[in-house]
Structure 1
């Protein structure tokens, strides 16, 4: 078992090639996590990987090139990571971000959209994709940490697109905290509109046979209201799902869940006489870190005169370091913050 408060956990970090993302990878690895470092610049992600230290020679950190604004890339990378580690990451850190600064009257539409696509849409795509995988794998107690900015609260001249994207991330996080923190097997069973993506095996080419099943673009057959439910209108368990997960069909003729299946998936039978599943929640926590002015490659382009004006407004009279933000990320990723959900934590120096 790896030492550290994150010993043995798997972390997925976007924007890992520099700045806060790189620092987050280093601190998470120091605390015992296995790290999946992703960045649009693959060489930068490789560099980050070379800086990571693990307490066990058996640990293998991974890196992937990833453009978080492209849903097909997000799905492909998450799927590859799960295939490598056999489990989805239980720590998600969304650090990928860009700026295209200009005054409102001069800012072109494409530049505005690029910032929204990477910063806000990218956070959405990664969070949604991994949350679906966590539900599919019945992983509880996961933690999603998103990166906003104090600019998203105060605004800043020449940064309308960046400020809008970061304000959106904060609102998005508070909403996902309510949804994912309260997500339970019962709600998945009752709400057919929730459709989980299956990452746990390749399709056997089977064709869905009931209205409860759907075929994804990747060809994998999954059930709406996924997990162990996967019911057929005939009263049988989904053949592909049960075969892949449990090594046998575990059919029921009564239309109820197989005792073996539910025991293995939930740690106990949790079967009520009413036929409902246990209401225990997945407990996926979502929090957002709100940095102030942090010394990173993103801020290197800011003129020194402007930097001094910002510095004068900070109580500590200095800019923050990426490592200081990363320490807060590690806290939110750990069980030490087990009752922190939907929180916005400022790291601004006062």
Structure 2
């Protein structure tokens, strides 16, 4: 699965027929727009798609306001920022996962491979316990970057900075930050702060605002555009470093610049949502069945699929046990584990390298 950019079958020598990229993007875009509109209507308040469209149109200056004030506030201030944040985070994690799997040539890589989620969690827990929740996105982002810096510094101490060293260093930093987080919670947390911290650590979009949309969406647009522009270089890594160098790719620089960009993208996503698992691990494999392994096709389609998936996962998280709300990370795990099991079964006997 995703073994080479051509993905040609073992017999016949011809690549399998796949839908044109324009068709995949059009279907994905329509599915995402429909998902956003429908997801905003779901909840205790009785809203319709028409009200959502009219509310958004009024705030964008496209029409006169004609939605009840309460419904307009529910759409614009509560549900729409949360749904759009979920879409941006889902897209960002899916893109980041696909890139990490390519750069490390590891099909089990995910966006949190370099200890980013544990570092972000440590920063977030620190500000939650200090009672300055307004600084949570900043603290989480700083924590993720600190974990990245520590990972790269540790990996360099053993000699040449290689993907294997980076992965092992990331695991070490992740365990260290997780232990520090547990210690801080055990030593400091009291009363209801436990529930708030646990919810964030499991991934939650309950506090999403328009600032969250700006952080996640801005990071996705900026980093995603740069990564997509270098899709051809990512394809070259499928053949190994030697082959990539022969194709004119500056392997060392490309790998670590791209990995740093993906770390920044992941840090921005974790800063607004906590650590949401399985999206960045499963989506690239699932989407590659339709797109093939070429990153020019894989990355944008994976982004759209990740956005749709996380919006529906978050909608389930906030409604299925209403008035209680599940952390969305629980839902993505419940959905991701069986899907990944199916993908493993389909990939039996295929190369995952």
TM-score bucket (shorter structure): under 0.3
> Which has a greater percent of helix?
2
Report the structure number with the largest CA radius of gyration.
1
> Which has a greater percent of strand?
1
**Normalising to structure 1: TM-score of the pair?**
0.26
Higher relative contact order (CA 8 A, sep 6+): 2
**Normalising to structure 2: TM-score of the pair?**
0.26
